[in-house]
Chains A and B, each alone.
Chain A
């Protein structure tokens, strides 16, 4: 962790010096909030998406796989897949070349929920996966800072047996809320645990319905509107320190390189 922390600093410094004042954050210090683990069973099904992809937003059909929870009846949202990519973070970790991304904007808080229903949606299985980290890239293209309230866990949105939740449910303390300043981008890294047979790992509950959820609630920290881009949701194995270093340097090198090669 110490090393990662150092790298984060480097990345902040380096990327901050390059991208016109915008900063790329690395959020990889999320705290496991699970206090109500449910007993699970193994019920692995075929993946609709090839691992490690959960959703790269390269396919317009991806939109159909997302559930949106609106803040109120008057909420107005923009939900579209458009061309573009967020580079240098999860994209590099996943080793993909993203061409499109998801544009999500609203005039009040909005939640996007990616469920992994058996056989009908994207499955991500931490326990049996070789991939033990869930990553994604987010860029705040609005004028307001945005609070990101993530939730990673089994069951549906009504469940409180999340693995990662924005709040510590015993104390209501927001532990996993991250704020992304206007113009900034970030890579979210959630560690998903190793093996349920081993101590100190998270139990992934499939018993009551084999599906898992990755939720992102976007709240404008100031004002009423949020406007974000989301890209490169996927799973990786142990994110190599080199990958992070690469990410940090990638801000320096790859950006120009990719720009050249992709255009």
Chain B
């Protein structure tokens, strides 16, 4: 819209200013044609038909300072005057008659109000007298936005004539289309200062303020810039704000909607430095450049910290603060540069560091300093603040970095694993607090490498090797800036070495020989067995000694090997083969024999697994139990006859149809378990084979829910004697007792589970893993810890443990690892096996490190409080057995269990019996047990006259509790110096050495009626009777013989027969048993004619061997002749004889031992004699046996008396050496130890003047 309908109007702008400035940049100074100049007011170009000059004198306009646009109406409006010069001639010309009518002074001119439009409010009429200029006042009332034109209407009055002239623009009828140049002025830029001719702009936005107006509402205000004069102008992208007020006091409104002021916002964050800026006004046809300003656009510097990062946890007293400040508008010419950086914490009052810029010309300023006062601030959340300043006072945005200061002293909660090989290089995780910024982690002063990624609660380290290579607990010490913490015994180095053997060979199996201390490696590639000997040092190195070739000729890969009980014979089977090779390990592995297994139809089977088992304890050849696989899979028992190559093979009938039979044996070769598997159905059945009794038990109620295909992974592992076993796959494990009853299960799996032979733990290993796990057998879900294999080697599925549980041999991809696992466990020492009621037990524990208080004692699997005495380094446990008669004590240290040690309760009979009056002065030496009536007799040969024999009735209930009731003995029986007792049917017989008499009474009658029926038979004063044995054939109650022996006999007066029915003592003249010391009568319950008596003839001074003379006790004295004379081969005072269902046992006093014999009474005299104990220091005396135990009292060479306990069941123990080792010795310190009897599973013995009751532990039931 460029229509300004101002007709014939020339406006002269008058101003006071006289400075010639071209504000509007039109190339002319703003000088009006009338010579007036006005700095502010542009002029409008005069129309060349200028007949009326209207001069708006703003100076005379009452300024209205406040103009408000209100509903598009501007008010209050301005007042002004218009100077109008009337050309009279023109008036005439318009209306020639009028001028004549004008009286002098009658002509008046007035700006007329436009009817209906109050824009112009007329002023007072002015008298026109000539062509002079008159001033007409008017008021612009308001302005509507749609008003494009503002017509002026002038009324010209001729007051004299009354003819008013009405001058309206339309009347002029000529419209001048005027397009004026925009006019404007730059008032200011938002500079903070002016240096020279340069305005300094701070910040991101350049603001130019000015005013402008134009007759075109569409006039655009723009901004051009250039870097310097030589640069080309570029249009800036700006925001224009109109209608700003700074200038409106002097700038009149113009235009309908166009404010007069402007504000140019040039927001350019990236613009900086020197610019020339020029605002432009452009109405479409004119581009008016306003004043050019020279600016220096100064931007705020920037700052960035690389350290700390937001939410960094700061654990150290010193913390590196690092980063960079940048100011890109460095211009030293005008003094613009990066000035400084300030770093605060929390608020600006806590200055950490002020860094000034030393090289002003650098745009970048490196920030790097140690914040050394971290510890001055409280633990918790803080904020690091950082700002950069430039020389013009601009500062960067404040950098706020939240941090957390930790001042926690480190604390160890757990170290996992708690142990590792002494070579180190394994990763250990430590949990606790304050672990994120440890300055040092050391294991007994040897630093460990801290792995990155530590958090406050977890740090991982790589353990160094421990030097010297000791097996020991170490402290783990952690340090950070705020302190250090150490946990004693937090980690344990255990001996372990990797033997880089056979790494390039395929190994099928490994087996450890306990006796040879050698490891056999079944080498498939070389078709050989490689023998490696354990070194004599710490046993960790394996030294190659020999190889021998396996003999498989059908090129089948070797599969498994097995050792005989004495580890002198090796058996090898092959994959997919029915061949079993037998090698003589005593002869460099020379092949001994080959067995081919055929099924009942004569078809070769495919061996799957096998086990060597022993059927008895006397070193017979043993047997192999072999499982096969495939369609005709089966189970075979091979009874070995190594000597004659005359093996017999028996195929065992399977309980169903299976495609795989798997055999697993226990370490002591007593028991095997068999799993019958059917891959087709996924079902399996478990059986147990007891080699001692040649007995299969099953199917055992072992149930496991197996996933499809899981049956192929199912394996079994047994404890050392087969009373417990594990069934496991790679995803689950269950433990059962020998009856198949579930003991526990857990939902993890493994490739191999190996029982520790003596502790309640097992080891689980997975192929490819670098560690093995130690888990509790008491609670399968409990993992005690794990341990890395040496040199982080990777397990390769084969492992073997030695019998003592000391060494683990694990085949790995890198070689054979030997880990001395036995060093892991604490060891109980000096524990008295025998505990008296209420006694405090003292013991030591070895291998426990520095914190004895961490030892936890268990009795009966229940934790018991024990006290540690620093002075003696012993633990004290009060009344460990409470009311139990026998238990196992073990300790745990950090979860590692020790071996279980037996505790036998020793009760004094005097404390148990219902009436113990007088017992304190009763010194019995002998015990006699009347098993028919469960009566125990004790006799004291030093007593005389009425108190030499006591009688106790013994009852043992199902819980093993012993009840003892004192019973009467007839006074007549209380003979002096009783030396031996026996019973014959209802008669109790006593031998008195002093009085040379046998005295007896009818105990049944006495108990029933009080009638003692005491009888006495004198014994010849010429013999020295030392003992009697009654003969009571069960099927012949009328036969009442007592055999009396004469220990001092030398010339045939050895054994006498007393018939208590007649009282006659007769000499058994044909029994040649000089120096008889004992007679044992073996009863046949059904046929007394098969009863046999065994008289022990003791060697006198080694003159001849000890002899057992066998005779028929039912015969009359004179007709008795020896059936056999068993030469024990010993020459040392055979003393007492005892027997159980299996064997006879004789104690040897002088030669200090015990001999076992099994008589051959067939006439061949092929007696089996076996010296089961040969102890150079123990004079064996009284002995007693039951089916599983032998207990004997002996005197040591140092005259201390001992009670020795032997487990007769060899399958409970070590399979490789004598099955008759003494398990326990009870040494009597200041008393003599006399007779001993096993009665109803309890041991009764005489120590000093006390009769003790000691429990027996049935090991097999453990």
- Which A residues contact B (CB, under 8 angstroms)? 36, 67, 69-74, 107-111, 113, 147, 149, 151, 153, 156-160, 162, 165-167, 169, 171-174, 177, 215, 217, 219, 222-224
Contacts and interface: CB of A to CB of B under 8 A. Distances in A.
Interface in B605-623: none
A71 B921 contact: no
Contacts of B234: none
Contact of B977 (A36, A157, A160, A174): A157
Contacts of B944: 69, 111, 113, 151, 157-158, 215, 217
Interface stretch (B465-473, B555-563, B1114-1122, B1230-1238): B1230-1238
Given A159-B945, A224-B1231, A172 B977 contact: no
Contacts of B521: none
Nearest to B918: A172
Nearest to B971: A160
Interface string B947-980: 1000000000000000000000001101111000
A108 to B, nearest CB: 6
B1226 to A, nearest CB: 16
Given A36-B971, A172-B915, 7 more contacts: A67-B994, A111-B944, A158-B976, A160-B972, A160-B974, A171-B917, A217-B944
B1149 to A, nearest CB: 10
Nearest to B975: A158
A71 B993 CA distance: 11
A69 B923 contact: no
B1007 to A, nearest CB: 18
A169 B945 CA distance: 9
A72 B939 CA distance: 10
B1232 A219 contact: no
A152 to B, nearest CB: 10
Contact of B945 (A67, A72, A165, A177): A165
A73 to B, nearest CB: 7
Interface residues of B, number: 35
Given A108-B923, A157-B977, A224-B1230, A174 B918 contact: yes
Given A72-B941, A165-B946, A217-B944, A174 B920 contact: yes
Contacts of B362: none
B942 interface: yes
Interface string B1209-1244: 000000000000000000000111010000000000
A172 B915 CA distance: 10
Contacts of B971: 36, 160, 169
B1026 interface: yes
Contact of B917 (A151, A173, A224): A173
Contacts of B977: 69, 157
Nearest to B972: A160
A172 B1234 CA distance: 23
B1227 to A, nearest CB: 14
Contact of B921 (A149, A156, A169, A215): A149
Contacts of B941: 69-72
Contacts of A149: 921, 943
Given A156-B976, A224-B1230, A219 B921 contact: yes
A224 B1026 CA distance: 23
15 contacts: A73-B1026, A74-B1195, A109-B923, A111-B944, A113-B944, A151-B945, A156-B976, A157-B976, A158-B974, A162-B945, A162-B946, A165-B947, A172-B918, A174-B917, A223-B1230
B285 to A, nearest CB: 140
B918 A217 contact: no
Interface in B909-947: 915, 917-918, 920-921, 923, 925-926, 940-947
A219 B995 contact: no
A174 B976 contact: no
Nearest to A72: B925
Contacts, number: 108
B992 interface: yes
Most chain-A CB neighbours within 10 Å: which of B943, B992, B1026?
A: B943
A32 B742 CA distance: 68
Contacts of A158: 944-945, 974-976, 992, 995, 997
B382 interface: no
B1158 to A, nearest CB: 29
A158 B1016 CA distance: 12
B917 A172 contact: yes
Contacts of B517: none
Nearest to A218: B942
A224 B1248 contact: yes
Given A167-B918, A219-B942, A156 B974 contact: no
A169 B1234 CA distance: 25
A70 B994 CA distance: 9
B123 to A, nearest CB: 149
A110 B943 CA distance: 9
A69 B992 CA distance: 11
A248 B945 CA distance: 34
A177 B920 CA distance: 11
Given A160-B971, A167-B918, A217 B943 contact: yes
B47 interface: no
B1249 interface: yes
B923 A219 contact: yes
B349 to A, nearest CB: 86
Nearest to B1249: A219
Contacts of B1248: 224
A67 B941 CA distance: 14
Nearest to B1047: A73
Contacts of B946: 159-160, 162, 165, 167, 169
A174 to B, nearest CB: 5
A69 B978 CA distance: 10
Given A69-B976, A157-B994, A215 B945 contact: yes
Given A157-B977, A160-B946, A219-B942, A72 B1234 contact: yes
Contacts of B1234: 72
Contacts of A107: 1232
A216 to B, nearest CB: 10
B501 to A, nearest CB: 59
B1232 to A, nearest CB: 5
Nearest to B947: A167
A71 B994 CA distance: 11
A69 B917 contact: no
Given A156-B995, A217-B944, A223-B1230, A166 B975 contact: no
Interface string B165-189: 0000000000000000000000000
A160 B942 CA distance: 15
A169 B942 contact: no
Most chain-A CB neighbours within 10 Å: which of B945, B1195, B1234?
A: B945
Interface in B983-1000: 992, 994-995, 997
A71 B917 CA distance: 21
Most chain-A CB neighbours within 10 Å: which of B947, B972, B995?
A: B947
Nearest to A222: B1230
Contacts of A217: 942-944
A173 B1026 CA distance: 30
A151 B941 CA distance: 15
Contacts of A73: 1026, 1047
A177 B971 CA distance: 20
Contacts of B975: 157-158
B998 to A, nearest CB: 12
A71 B923 contact: yes
B756 to A, nearest CB: 43
Nearest to A166: B921
A258 B261 CA distance: 152
Given A108-B1232, A157-B995, A219-B923, A172 B947 contact: yes
B673 to A, nearest CB: 51
A111 B1230 CA distance: 21
B944 to A, nearest CB: 4
A224 B1249 CA distance: 9
A219 to B, nearest CB: 6
